Structure 1
């Protein structure tokens, strides 16, 4: 698990290789990642959108942007957390992801960015 804190918002990511859904001989590797966002600040915040950079050893870097996370734009009161699980398909068994959440403070509408820490995606396949 990797964790970072930006402006009082803690982001932790845990990645899992999904061997049962992958086909290494067809260059198809599936990973899931669980993200936990915890508001350690004294402000109520809302996650508005995100931007991911996905690097695959077999391809050039991809940028993925969009509103919210898995269809939600969670509001986090101080001390609250939000977790979700998403996934990523790679053409190789080796890659990494990092990104940023675009957040808003509900008290005044000010916007700020929260770093999503870089994490590695390594297929267990390489260790067998």
Structure 2
């Protein structure tokens, strides 16, 4: 039997936004697009999120709140939900990691961990 916390798959794509960034003002803007896919056998609702955002100076921002982009989507088995949000760093590179708190229709709460992913402008990739 599969663990419930393995029932939602998360994928992440990041994009540097040079038109909104201002390196001379230490402002580096990134968008990230997250897709959640319910691979379990019951509905799962996204209740809240927690993010740890770390820049290249090891300065950390902690962000937590209800839902994502103003929504608390419920995913039926096999269903996907995609949203885009953003983050602003004071350095050109950084990382994000976090978790979503989810709830099944039967009232069981579980966390989906989001492993660290990089925020890096294309010109910094090797």
> Given the two structures, how large is their TM-score scaled by the length of structure 1?
0.90
Correspondences of 1:63-102 after superposition (within 5 Å) = 63-102=62-101
CA positional deviation for 1:125 = 4.9
Matches of 1:98 and 1:77 in 2, distance apart? 25
Matches of 1:59 and 1:27 in 2, distance apart? 15
Correspondences of 1:26-45 after superposition (within 5 Å) = 26-45=25-44
User: Which position in structure 1 is the counterpart of 2:110?
Assistant: 112
**Does the CA-based 8 Å contact 1:17-1:121 persist in structure 2?**
yes
Matches of 1:25 and 1:124 in 2, distance apart? 18
- For the pair 1:56 / 2:55, whether they are aligned, the reply is yes
CA positional deviation for 1:118 = 1.3
1:87-118 deviation line (CA, Å, top 9, x unaligned): 00000001000000000011x20100001121
Q: How many residues were matched structurally?
A: 122
CA positional deviation for 1:59 = 5.1
CA positional deviation for 1:124 = 3.3
CA-based RMSD? 1.5
Q: Which runs of 5+ in 2 are unaligned?
A: none
Matches of 2:86 and 2:110 in 1, distance apart? 25
User: Which position in structure 1 is the counterpart of 2:122?
Assistant: 124
User: Which position in structure 2 is the counterpart of 1:18?
Assistant: 17
Matches of 2:90 and 2:112 in 1, distance apart? 28
